[in-house]
Amino acid sequence: MPAPGLSNAAVVLLGVIALGSLAQAVFLLVLGRELMTMGRRLDAFQQRLVRDLHPLVADITRATRSLSAASELTEQQARRIDSLVSTALARLVEVERVVEEVLVPPANRVAGWLAALRSLRTLVDFYRGLRG
């Protein structure tokens, strides 16, 4: 029975508000339950993902270490090749200097003598051609 001073409309509105509050409470309980279920699923997914990605991360780590070692070896080899080329170039420069200082002057003299002999031979051949 309604309290004195409350109309039927007020009682109906209070009933509607109570039903709305009850529906809201039920909705919040269902939502909380679904969020808990979703949280468990996400946790299981995260665990599977970590478990599945762990070997991949280990392989990538191993590959990175291997690449690092290969990079170091490549750098060492490049330094050795640079040193070898520098040494070879220095020796070639030294050989060039020796050739210019030691071999070129006698070779020029020999070439001069050979040119003179050719000229003399040409003269002899010319003279023979005139006589003969």
Q: Tens-digit pLDDT profile for the chain (132 aa)?
A: 555 677 899 999 999 999 999 999 999 999 999 999 999 999 999 999 999 999 999 999 999 999 999 999 999 999 999 999 999 999 999 998 988 888 888 888 888 898 988 998 898 888 888 886
The Cα 30–Cα 27 span in angstroms is 5
What's the residue count for the chain? Answer: 132
C-alpha 2/C-alpha 20 separation (Å) is 20
What does pTM read for this prediction?
0.45
* Residue 106 pLDDT: 85
Report the pLDDT value the prediction gives residue 98, as an integer from 0 to 100.
Answer: 86
How far is it, in rounded angstroms, from Cα 108 to Cα 114? 10
Q: How much is the pLDDT for 127?
A: 86
Structure confidence at residue 1 (pLDDT): 52
Could you tell me how far CA 33 lies from the centroid of its own chain?
Answer: 48
Three-state DSSP at 74 gives helix
**Residues 2, 8: contact at Cβ < 8 Å?**
yes
Q: Which two tokens stand for residue 29?
A: 């309980």
In a 13 Å sphere around the CA of 26, the CA atoms on its Cβ side amount to: 6
